[in-house]
Amino acid sequence: MNVLVVGGAGYIGSHTAKTLKRAGHNPVVLDNLSTGHRWAVRWGPLVEADLADKKAILQAIRDHQIEAVIHFAANAYVGESMQNPAKYFRNNVANMLNLLEAQHESGVKRIVFSSSCTTYGIPERVPISEDFPQSAISPYGESKLMGEKMLKWFGECYGLGWVALRYFNASGADPEGEIGEVHDPETHLIPLVIDAALGKRPPVRIFGTDYPTPDGTAIRDYIHVMDLADAHVRALQYLLEGGESTAFNLGTGHGHSVREVIAAVERVGGRKVPAEEAPRRAGDPPALVADPSKAHRILGWEAQYRELNQIVETAWRFAENRKQ
Ligand code: UDP
């Protein structure tokens, strides 16, 4: 199938393009390269275009006989979204609307959408299942929630078939080392800890040591990017087979604290990680852990990288060899 991978030059999009190709599909990447990388587009053509430009989307759909869409393109910094909410609503909501309209106008009836566990805000308890209330606490989280709502109504009104995948903490890198996580600025814990260990960045700051968790640091569910990529291919297949539009949580179901991540990097790298304690980062919930049983039940999906060490090993290898 010819699949338009919107935002396919980015972290999760590029890993999904690779996995799509391996599964026998043709990924066509549409990306404005604002945060993505040309070097990460290796498994099909790149259409350099912005979602603000609906004509360009329609043209790409026509030129490449697109049959389905996977939509990754978004701004994804919670902190930045608090400083500049308009950017998030424009890029993540208004521009997504162009994509949905272009799909409607050209009869492309299926979409898999990158959503996020941030749509749950601060959950009452963990693990989080899909029926938990969604009440985002940042413009970023809200923009993802609005994306889900647009899908729902395009489904109701026009018969669009959709799957929203609510990622927990995407992490790790392609085990073959071809692609990996490169953000600028980098705000994610695992690459920052690894770079601190490699002496490429200053000591990592542990944001909050007074959380109500066993070691006082915040807990997250780190899910390998190849497992996420696999879930997208399954979600596409599910839609093709007539599966009902719905949302899935993607996580391992196990949480790890910031200190546990640092310890894992020390084990994998065989060296001490320079770290210092710092105040909590605004808007960070104490614990986010997925209940991934719905994705298992319906998509047959399950994380293959179950150990934090395995995730860190792939990220370490990529960071060590990275030239970009
Ligand atoms: N974190 C940290 N120091 C950093 C970056 C992150 O202690 O330099 C913590 C952060 O507070 C959170 C966890 O690591 O509890 C994961 O943060 P990340 O930014 O990777 O992902 P998020 O959960 O915000 O999507």
pLDDT digits (tens, 9 = 90+) for 180-229: 999 999 999 999 999 999 999 999 999 999 999 999 999 999 999 999 99
Mind listing the pLDDT tens digit for each residue in 104-115? Answer: 999 999 999 999
Residues serving a catalytic function are: 140
CA 2 vs. chain centroid, Å, equals 21
Our answer on whether the CB atom of 187 is closer than 6 Å to any ligand 1 atom is: yes
Mean pLDDT (the chain) is 97
Of 129, 141, 183, 188, give the one whose Cα is nearest residue 311.
188
Dist. CA 7–CA 192, nearest whole Å? 23
Look at the domain 189-221+253-321 and name its fold.
UDP-galactose 4-epimerase; domain 1 (3.90.25)
pLDDT beyond 80 at 160: yes
pLDDT beyond 70 at 257: yes
Note the pTM of the prediction, 2 decimals.
0.98
pLDDT class for 177, splitting at 50, 70, 90?
Answer: very high
Our answer on whether the CB atom of 258 is closer than 6 Å to any ligand 1 atom is: yes
| Mutation to probe ligand 1, out of 225, 258, 265, 273 (largest number of atoms < 8 A from CB) | 258
Cβ burial 4-21 (10 Å sphere, 16+ → b, else e): bbbbbbbbbbbbbbbbbe
Dihedral sign from CA coordinates of 66, 69, 70, 76: positive
Give Cβ neighbours of residue 281 (< 8 Å, ≥ 6 apart).
79, 207, 208
pLDDT class for 9, splitting at 50, 70, 90?
Answer: very high
pLDDT class for 322, splitting at 50, 70, 90?
Answer: confident
Our answer on whether the CB atom of 135 is closer than 6 Å to any ligand 1 atom is: no
Mean pLDDT of 296-300: 98
Our answer on whether the CB atom of 259 is closer than 6 Å to any ligand 1 atom is: no
CATH of domain 2-170+222-250: 3.40.50.720
Per-domain residue ranges for the chain? Answer: 2-170+222-250, 189-221+253-321
